[in-house]
């Protein structure tokens, strides 16, 4: 059995693994002195990318060979893995960025989508590359597929500065509110989904500076996901489960995540799917959960309005997935002109994607099962998508270029169901 096969299978002892994992693979780089002590016990300052540009800690270098040399010295000295956790994560992050063609040292999400366009494309293209080369890495493939929608949406989101600054927009919305109240009574506004009502109010105060802050935070989330989960993937495809055991030993993740990787490596379809679902839950709850909450709570109506707008506008490109706007739609009881009661279903979401429980319900109902079906039953079509240059994928999924399908879905999502004979209002209707 080859060294790589033994590493993938986990047949080496833990002590032997950490001693030999990188030694033959890392080129020898001459240094007069390796100041290992300077790189121990470092906080993971930039694991949350809102801290600043670059890697895990500003002290750490960006030379993969040098980082590997430092790691080998730490292992040889039997230093406890938690003491070199930042060094370990920086090594795999640098190695990953080198493979993806990303300049980690200058990667600053706060500068917004346009300056980071190449980073977005290269990151998501690498996600897809991993899926093509390793069928079990479904989290990466789904991230790459949805990433085109995400990146395209970010580029068009900047357009909102011009939309909200349009002359007469705020007075027009106020006139609409008056007309709605006159027609349906003072409670009419309360019948609207909370996000839409917030959006109407937010147009009065939203500034380009607000928009830029929100864009920066969303870019922070994208880098947080990459920084947290993609080094695990790079370690897995390079060193197998023993490389991930070192992550666990260093405290970079817990037993739950390690068991998920064991399932992913098992070859059993159900265990592979379950393991990838655990990674996705970590992404949504741990890597970006706090940032979504921060954006939603930004300046009251403004943050809620923008996150609701993302729910309304999003159209995931995974085959068969229902757009968020048509999932858990607005349903209201109304009285028709002839006096009969009916349920009016509007093509608007009655939920907000930024709320973790709601987001996770959508993901587990739509994205996870339908992406798994793509991998297991429609692989040639999925692979063809992933071999499309990523810039083309981004352009194809920009919201401004998909308006016809957007409005078609709005038309299809509108319905009236007469309650005849009158009966109890369904639980989903408020």
Backbone angles phi, psi at 199, to 5 degrees: -65, -40
Nearest-angstrom CA–CA distance, 144 and 128 = 5
Q: Please indicate, yes or no, if residue 50 is contained in any of the structural domains.
A: no
Structure token pair of residue 400: 């401004």
Judged by DSSP in three states, 265 sits in coil
Structure token pair of residue 84: 């070199």
Residue 309 CA: distances (Å) to CA of 300, 304, 405: 14, 9, 17
Q: Please indicate, yes or no, if residue 22 is contained in any of the structural domains.
A: no
Q: Please indicate, yes or no, if residue 52 is contained in any of the structural domains.
A: no
Tell how strand 341-349 and strand 415-418 pair up.
antiparallel
The distance from CA 341 to its chain's CA centroid, rounded to whole angstroms, is: 42
For helices 208-249 and 138-157, give the axis angle rounded to 10 degrees: 160
Weakly modelled stretches of the chain, pLDDT under 70: 1-34, 155-191, 398-413, 420-430
Q: Please indicate, yes or no, if residue 319 is contained in any of the structural domains.
A: yes
Encode pLDDT of 57-91 as tens digits: 999 999 999 999 999 999 999 999 999 999 999 99
Judged by DSSP in three states, 317 sits in coil
* Cβ-based neighbours of 167, under 8 Å, separated by 6 or more: none
pTM score, whole prediction: 0.84
Q: Do residues 263 and 271 make contact, with C-beta atoms less than 8 angstroms apart? A: yes
Encode pLDDT of 234-293 as tens digits: 999 999 999 999 999 999 999 999 999 999 999 999 999 999 999 999 999 999 999 999
Amino acid 7: pLDDT: 38
Handedness of CA 287, 291, 296, 297 (dihedral sign): positive
Amino acid 86: pLDDT: 98
Encode pLDDT of 374-398 as tens digits: 999 999 999 999 999 988 888 777 6
Backbone angles phi, psi at 416, to 5 degrees: -130, 125
Residue 389 CA: distances (Å) to CA of 119, 121, 401: 14, 9, 18
Structurally, how many domains does the chain consist of? 1
Q: Please indicate, yes or no, if residue 10 is contained in any of the structural domains.
A: no
What is the edge-to-edge ordering of all strands in the sheet holding 415-418? 329-335, 341-349, 415-418
Q: Please indicate, yes or no, if residue 6 is contained in any of the structural domains.
A: no
Q: Please indicate, yes or no, if residue 31 is contained in any of the structural domains.
A: no
Q: What is the largest CA-CA distance in the chain?
A: 90
Q: Please indicate, yes or no, if residue 161 is contained in any of the structural domains.
A: yes
Domain residue limits at 236:
108-430
């Amino acid at each position: 059995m080859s060294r790589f096969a033994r590493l993938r299978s986990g047949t080496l002892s833990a002590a032997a693994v950490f001693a030999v994992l990188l030694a033959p693979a890392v080129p020898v780089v001459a240094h007069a002195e390796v100041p290992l002590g300077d790189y121990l016990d470092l906080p993971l300052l930039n694991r949350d990318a809102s801290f600043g540009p670059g890697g895990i800690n500003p002290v750490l270098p960006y030379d993969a060979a040098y980082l590997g040399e430092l790691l080998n010295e730490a292992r040889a000295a039997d230093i406890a893995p938690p003491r070199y956790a930042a060094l370990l994560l920086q090594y795999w992050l640098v190695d990953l960025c080198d493979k993806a063609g990303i300049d980690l040292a200058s990667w600053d999400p706060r500068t917004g989508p346009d300056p980071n366009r190449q980073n977005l494309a290269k990151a998501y293209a690498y996600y897809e590359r991993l899926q093509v080369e390793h069928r079990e890495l479904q989290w990466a493939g789904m991230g790459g597929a949805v990433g085109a929608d995400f990146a395209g949406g970010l580029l068009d989101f900047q357009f909102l500065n011009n939309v909200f600054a349009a002359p007469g927009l705020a007075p027009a919305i106020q006139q609409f509110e008056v007309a709605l109240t006159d027609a349906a009574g003072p409670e009419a506004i309360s019948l609207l989904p909370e996000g839409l009502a917030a959006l109407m109010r937010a147009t009065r105060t939203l500034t380009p500076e607000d928009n830029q802050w929100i864009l920066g935070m969303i870019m922070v989330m994208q880098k947080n996901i990459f920084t947290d989960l993609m080094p695990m993937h790079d370690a897995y495809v390079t060193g197998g489960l023993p490389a991930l055991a070192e992550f666990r030993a260093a405290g970079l993740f817990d037993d739950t995540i390690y068991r998920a990787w064991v399932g992913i490596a098992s070859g059993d379809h159900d265990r592979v799917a379950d393991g990838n679902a655990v990674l996705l839950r970590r992404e949504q709850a741990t890597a970006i959960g706090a940032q979504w909450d921060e954006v939603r709570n930004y300046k009251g109506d403004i943050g809620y309005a923008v996150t609701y707008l993302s729910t309304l506008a999003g159209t995931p490109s995974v085959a068969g997935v229902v757009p968020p706007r048509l999932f858990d739609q607005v349903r209201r009881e109304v009285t028709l002109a002839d006096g009969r009661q009916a349920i009016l279903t509007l093509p608007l979401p009655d939920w907000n994607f930024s709320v973790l429980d709601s987001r996770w319900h959508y993901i587990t109902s739509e994205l996870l099962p339908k992406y798994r079906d793509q991998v297991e039953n429609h692989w040639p079509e999925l692979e063809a998508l992933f071999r499309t240059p990523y810039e083309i994928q981004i352009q194809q999924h920009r919201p401004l270029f998909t308006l016809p399908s957007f409005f078609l879905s709005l038309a299809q999502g509108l319905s009236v169901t007469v309650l005849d004979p009158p009966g109890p209002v369904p639980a989903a209707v408020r």
